[in-house]
Structure 1
Amino acid sequence: MTLPRTIAAAATLLAVGAPMFTPEPSAAANAADRPSTVSWNACPEYTDEMLAWLGVPAEAVPSFHELMARTECGTISVPLDYDDPGGERITVALTRLKATDQANRLGSLAVNPGGPGGSGYLMPLDLSMAPPGVTPVGLELNERYDLIGFDPRGVGYSTSYDCADLGPGGRHPAGVVTEADAREMYAAVVAANRECSQSNADFLAQLTTVNVAHDLDRIRAALGEDRMNFLGVSWGTWLGAVYRSEHPRHAGRVWIDSVAPPEFRFDEFATVRSNAVGRDFTRMAGWLAEHDEYGFGTTTRAVEKSLARLAAAFDAEPRVFTDLDFVFDGAFVAMAGDQDAPTWALAARLLADLRDATGPEAPQSVKDLFDEPDRGDPPPGTPRLFNETMNQAVFCNEDLGDRDFDSTWADYRKALKKYPVTGRLRGFVPPCAGWTIPPEPVRLRDSGTPLVLSGHRYETLSPYEWTWDMHDEVGGKVMTVNDDVHGSALMSPDCAGRIAEFFETGRVGSRTCVGAPSEPEETGTFAFAEGSGFRF
C-alpha cells in the first residue's frame, strides 16, 4: 500500500505486424454513445487492520486517514467495446484528491503504478506518504493539481473478472530444467490460457491498453478538463505513451518512469531483459571483488566463475534444510545475482552462508529471509492491489511474439550458454501460448505534447535501452536516473523534485538525477523472481 509496495505490485512487452492507430474515437462512435459523467459516492472505509494487511506502516496510518478524509470517490460508465459504443457498459472507479491551492490550480493529474493489473485507486495517497526525511512528491504535486487515481478496467473496484486458473505457479522443478520438464510446463500453460481466454472472451478481448487509454480520456471529459496530465510507472509508461498517441488533443504534461519498449512482443522482451540481467550481474561481481570478506574472489571474472560453480553445485545437489520448506538450487543463485544494488550485500551474505552451511538447519541469515509472519487472509473489504487475469489479458492481447515451444526453448538454451548464472531467469515457456484471442498491434506516434521519459541506467526490469527506443518513437526529453531500482524516481528526493518542477513549470532542468541510495547493506528485501515475468 505504501508507494514502494504499490509499484512492486505492479512487477516487469510488445508487437510486430500491420500498425493500427486511431487518434481519437470517431465522431460516429461519439454520436452513438452517451458522454460519461462521474457518479460520486461515499469512499470505502479502511480500518487500521486492513491498512496493516496492505503494508501501511503504523506511523503512516494517521496520514492515510487524513488524506482519505480529503479524497472523493466515484465511478464512470464506459463502453466495454469502443467499436460498439451503444453496446454493453462497464464501470471504471476513480478517486480525486483536490488541489490544496485551488486559486492557482493547474488541472488534473492522473497516476498509474503499472502492472498491467495494478490498482491505481489509492495511488494519490501512496504518492503523498513517504519514509521519514523524504518530502512526498504527491504532496508537492497536490498543491496545484487534483490527483486522479483509478482502477483500470479489469482491476479492483472497476468491472473485473477472474479466470479460475492462470497456469502453473510457484518455482520450477529443482535443479537443471530438462526439455521434458519444459514441455510439460508448456502444455500446462497452453491449456490454462486456452481455458481462461475462452471463459469470458467478450470481456477479456476488451482488456487492452488502448481501451484503458480511452477510459482515461472519458475520465478527463467527465471531470470537465480540457487536458489530462499523466504520471506513470512501469506498464503505466506504456499507458502514458498510448494515451498521448490516441488522444493528442487532450494529453497534457506526461512523465513516465522505468520506461516500457515501444513494441510489445514477449520473445524480444525476454532477450533484452536477459541481457540487462547479465550486465548487472557483472556489476555485482565487480562489487563482490572489492569485498573479499564474502570469499568469492578478488576480480570480477573470478567472482563470476565462483558463482557459476556454486550454481552448478546447487543444481547437482540442491540444498535443503530441516527447518525450511524451500529448495536452494542454481535458480536461487541466479535470483541472488539479479538484485538491485542496495541488496547486493544481503545477497552476498546469503550465498556465502549457504555455501558454507554444514548443519541440517539453515543458517540464521537464510532463516531471517523467510522469517515473515503469515498475514493470513485479508480482512473483509480489503481492496485487491493486483488482478492477475487483467495482467494476462492485456499482455496477451497485444503480444505478437513467437509462442511456440521450440523457438522459446532454443532462446532459453542460448541465454544459459551466454550467461551461465543468470541465463536461467529467461523464461523457457512463452507466457501467452494457447491464448485464443487474436492479438492486435498498437502504433505509437509523437504527438508533440510535453513528455519526459526517466530511464534507469542499470535497471533490469525496464532496461535502459527501452527508454531511448521509446524516445525514438514518441519524442520527448530523456532524464537518466543513475541507479538500478525500478520506479525509484518517484521516491528519490532529487528525481522527485524534477518531477514536481516539470508538472508545475513544464521544465526539466538537469537531464540526470541520482536515484535510490546505492550503498549495499546486509538488510532489505530480497526479490524472488524467476522466468521472464509478466509484471513491469
Structure 2
Amino acid sequence: MRSSPRLRNVLLPALSLACAAATLSAAPARADGPGAPPRLDWRPCAKAEGEVTDAHGPARECATLSVPLDYREAGGRRLGLAVSRLRSDHPDARRGTLLLIAGGPGGSGVGMLARRGTQLRQQTHGAYDIVSLDPRGTGGSPGADCGLSPADREITTFRPWPAADGSIGANVATARRIADACARDGGPVLRSLSTVNEVRDLDRFRQALGERRLSAYGLSYGTYVGAVYAQKYPQHTDRWVLDSNADPDPERVERAWVANFAVGAEDRFPDFAKWASDPARGTDRLARTPQEVRDRFLSLASQLDREPRRFDDTKKLLTGNALRQQMQLALYNDEQFPGFARLMAAAGDGGSAPLKVPDPQPKPMEQRDAAVFLGVVCNDVRWPRAVPGYVRAVAVDRVAHPLTAGMPANVMPCAFWKGGPVEKPVRITPDGPSNVLLLQGLRDPATPYSGALKMRAAFGDRARMVTVDAGGHAMYLANGNSCGDRAVTEFLVTGKRPEQDIACPAETR
C-alpha cells in the first residue's frame, strides 16, 4: 500500500503502496563478533525521495547495522540493515532517543525518518535524537525476491478479489502459484522475515546506539511491532506511542488485519458519502444524499463487473474490483476523495468510450515489496488451509460487507505457505511499565477502531488511549486534530499522559 506520501506507511496497503526505499550510499556491515556489541559508522545520507530538511539543524546520518540472519545462530550469516539518525538540534534539551517504527509490512523506516523526522524534531523541541531502520527485506536492507510475474503483482490479483459471481477458483490458483514461487525462489532472507525478528533487530539497534531505553512512535503495522517490543523488552521502553492500532490477537494477528478491511471500509465510507453528497462539492457531487452515494457506488461496481471500461491513457481496464480497490485506497485520506469522485462520475456516465480521467491504478508491486509483505504475514501466524472454508467465508462476507465484496475473507498465499509460522506469536499482556499511549481514529479504513480496542484491552493499565473523532489512517500530525496531536506531543516532551482514556471531538480541517 503510487499515491500520496501519506499512504506509503500504512498497514497492509503495503500490498500496493509499500514505502519507497530511501537512496543510501552502500556500505558493508561491520564484522562484529557474535558476542561483541554492534557498532555503527555514521555518514551523511544521500537525499531521499520526499525528504524534508531543516537548514538550521543537523542533517540526517546513515549507517549499516549488522544483525544475525538467524538469532539462534549468532555466529552464522549476517545481514546489514540500513539505519538512519537525525540528531537533536537542541543538545541541551535532549532527553533520549525516539525510534520511528514504520508501517507495512514493507515500510521503510529510513524513508519515514526522511519525510517526518524534521517535523517531529520541531514538535518535540529537540528532546530526542530521532532514529529508524529499514527492516530486513525493505529499503536499503537486504531484500527478498519470490520471482513473481508482473501479473501476479498487480494489486487486484495480489489482493484476492473474488470473481463477479463470488467464486474464488482463480484466487486459489493464484495463491498456490505465489506460495510455490516463494518456496522455490525466496531464499533464507524471506524465511527470516517476521515481526519477532524485526523486534530483535530493533533491540540490537538500541544496543548499537548505546541507549538503555528508547522512546518510540509506531504507525499502523508498526503499532504491532512496537507492542511486541514492549512485551519482550519492557525494561528498555521509555515513552511509547502507537498510532492507528492493529488487533494483537495472537491466534490470528495478520489474518484479523486482513479481515478487518471489511469493517474499516464500512466505518469510513460514510465520510466519503457525506462529502460526495454535499452541494459544496460542485461538479464533484455524486448524489443528493449519502445513501444515494453508497447505492451509486455499489451499482457502478456491479456494472463494471459486467462491462469494464478502458482508460484512454494506459489502455488498462477499470473492472468492478479495480473500482472497489480504488475506493479502499481513497478512504485513507480526505485528500483522495475528489479524485475518486471524478473516477466514479466518469465511469458511470453511461457511455462506452475510453475513460478520459487519469488511470489511478498503481503499477505492479515491486518484487521485494511483495516478498516482504508475504514473508511477514505468512511467517507470523498459521492460516487455515482448507479451501471450502474460504468459499463459505467469502459468501458470508459479501453479504455482510458489500463494499469489499468478500476480498478480506478470501484465500491468501499463506494458506499454501511452506513451513508454517517461524515462531509462536507474542501475546500482549498488562505486565510491564505503564508508559504506552495509543492514538486512534474512530473511522480508520485499515486498522479499525474495533481492532484498536483489542490492543487497548491487551495492554490493560499499561496504556491510555486517545480516540480522535476523525476518519482516515494515521492520526498524529496527519489526519488527526489539535487535541490528539497535543496529547502525543505533551507525552513525548514532558512525560505527562492522560490519567484515563480520553476522546477528542471532531475538528474542521
- Residue equivalent to 2:199: 213
Distance 1:75 1:478 in 2: 35
Unaligned ranges ≥5, structure 2: 14-32
Structure-2 separation of matches of 1:182 and 1:34: 51
- Which residue in the other structure is 2:347 paired with? 354
Structure 2: how far apart are the matches of 1:164 and 1:371? 22
Q: What are the residue-to-residue correspondences of 1:295-334 with 2, within 5 Å?
A: 297-320=287-310, 322-334=312-324
Q: State the match for 2:264 in structure 1.
A: 276
SS of match in other structure, 2:321: helix
Structure 2: distance between partners of 1:467 and 1:66: 38
Aligned to 2:502: 511
In 1, Cα distance between equivalents of 2:360 and 2:3: 23
Per-residue deviation at 1:5? 1.5
Aligned partner of 2:24 in structure 1 is: none
Instruction: Determine whether 1:436 maps to 2:398.
Output: no
Which residue, 393, 402, 414 being the options, matches 2:396? 414
Structure 2 counterpart of 1:388: 370
The alpha carbon displacement at 1:370 in A equals 4.8
Match of 2:405 among 417, 423, 427: 423
Q: 2 CA distance for matches of 1:322 and 1:196? A: 35
Mapped contact 1:314–1:329 kept (Cα < 8 A): yes
In structure 1, how many angstroms separate the alpha carbons of the residues matched to 2:225 and 2:391?
A: 30
Report the 3-state secondary structure (helix = DSSP H, G, I; strand = E; otherwise coil) of the residue aligned with 2:374.
helix
- SS in structure 2 opposite 1:356? coil
One-letter code aligned to 2:194: T
Encode CA deviations 1:363-410: one digit per residue, 9 max, x unaligned: 4xx23x5599x9xxxxxxxxx997332221111111223243322232
Give 1:327's aligned amino acid.
L
Paired with 2:492 and 2:312, the residues of 1 have a C-alpha distance of: 55
Alignment of 1:225 with 2:211, yes or no, is yes
> Structure 2 CA distance, aligned partners of 1:95 and 1:268?
32
Q: How does 1:257-272 map to 2 (within 5 A)?
A: 257-263=243-249, 264-272=252-260
Shift in Å at residue 234 of structure 1? 0.9
Q: Secondary structure at the match of 2:310?
A: coil
* Offset of residue 197 of structure 1: 3.1
Per the alignment, residue 529 of structure 1 pairs with none
1:93 aligns with 2:55: no
Query: CA 1:80–1:36 in structure 2 vs 1: closer, same or farther (change >3 Å)?
Result: farther
Q: Kindly provide the amino acid, as one letter, of the partner of residue 355 in structure 2.
A: A
1:32-51 Cα offsets, whole Å, 9 max, x none, are 941332231433433xxxx5
Please list the CA deviations of residues 98-157 of structure 1 after superposition, one character each: whole Å capped at 9, or x if unmatched: 21222232111110221122111243332145xxxxxx2332336011111211122222
Per-residue Cα deviation, 1:172-217 (whole angstroms, up to 9, x for no partner): 58x9716797323322322322331344554333221112111111
Going from structure 1 to structure 2, the CA distance change for 1:385 and 1:193 (only over 3 Å counts) comes to: closer
CA distance in 1, matches of 2:115, 2:219: 13
Please point out which of 239, 243, 247 is paired with 1:253: 239
Is the 1:479–1:512 contact (alpha carbons within 8 Å) kept by the matching residues of 2? yes
Bigger relative CO (Cα 8 Å, ≥ 6 apart): 1
Q: Which amino acid aligns with 2:248?
A: P
Could you tell me which amino acid in structure 2 is paired with residue 8 of structure 1?
R
1:178–1:37 distance in 2 versus 1, CA, 3 Å: same
**Residues 36 and 77, structure 1, Cα contact 8 Å, conserved in 2:** no
Task: Count how many residue pairs are aligned between Structure 1 and Structure 2.
Answer: 467
Deviation at 1:428, TM superposition (A): 2.8
Offset of 1:284 from its aligned partner?
Answer: 3.5
Partners of 1:43 and 1:72 within 8 A in 2 = yes
Cα distance in 2 for partners of 1:322, 1:123 equals 34
AA partner of residue 352 (structure 1): A
Distance in 1 between residues matched to 2:265 and 2:207, nearest whole Å: 42
Question: Given the superposition, is the C-alpha separation of residues 253 and 288 from structure 1 closer, same or farther in structure 2, using an over 3 Å criterion?
Answer: same
2:181 aligned with 1:191: no
Q: 1:106 matched to which residue of 2? A: 95
Q: What letter matches 1:511 in structure 2?
A: I
- SS of 2:418's equivalent in the other structure is coil
| Residue number among 152, 160, 165 corresponding to 2:143 in the alignment | 160
CA contact (8 A) 1:36 1:219 kept: no
Is 1:70 aligned to residue 59 of structure 2?
yes
**How do 1:448-459 residues align onto structure 2 when only pairs under 5 Å count?**
448-459=433-444
State the SS of the aligned residue for 1:256: strand
8 Å contact from structure 1 (residues 107, 228) kept in 2: yes
Asked whether the 8 Å contact 1:64–1:125 carries over to 2, the reply is: no
Give me the whole-angstrom Cα distance separating, in 1, the residues matched to 2:37 and 2:337. 49
Output the CA distance in 2 between the equivalents of 1:198 and 1:336: 32
| Deviation by residue 1:284-325 (Cα, 9 ceiling, x = unmatched) | 335545549778654444443343333222222222355551
Change (3 A) 1:202 1:142: farther
Comparing 212-221 with 483-492, greater Cα deviation is found at: 483-492
Is 1:480 aligned with 2:467?
yes
The 3 A distance-change label for structure 1 pair 483 and 4 is farther
CA distance in 2, matches of 1:477, 1:297: 40
Shift of 1:70: 2.5
Deviations 1:311-360 (A, max 9, x none): 22222222235555132332244345443344444433332332225362
Letter in 2 for 1:271: A
**TM-score, scaled relative to structure 1:** 0.77
Report the alpha carbon displacement of residue 223 of structure 1 after superposing the two structures with TM. Answer: 1.6
CA distance, structure 2, for counterparts of residue 467 and residue 212 of structure 1: 21
Give RMSD over aligned pairs.
3.5
Secondary structure of 1:433 counterpart: helix
Secondary structure of 1:456's counterpart equals: strand
The structure-2 alpha-carbon separation of the partners of 1:251 and 1:290, relative to structure 1 and needing over 3 Å to count, comes to same
Deviates more, 1:498-507 or 1:426-435: 426-435
Unmatched runs of 5 consecutive residues or more in structure 1:
14-31, 130-135, 375-383, 519-536
Offset at residue 162 of structure 1 (A) = 2.3
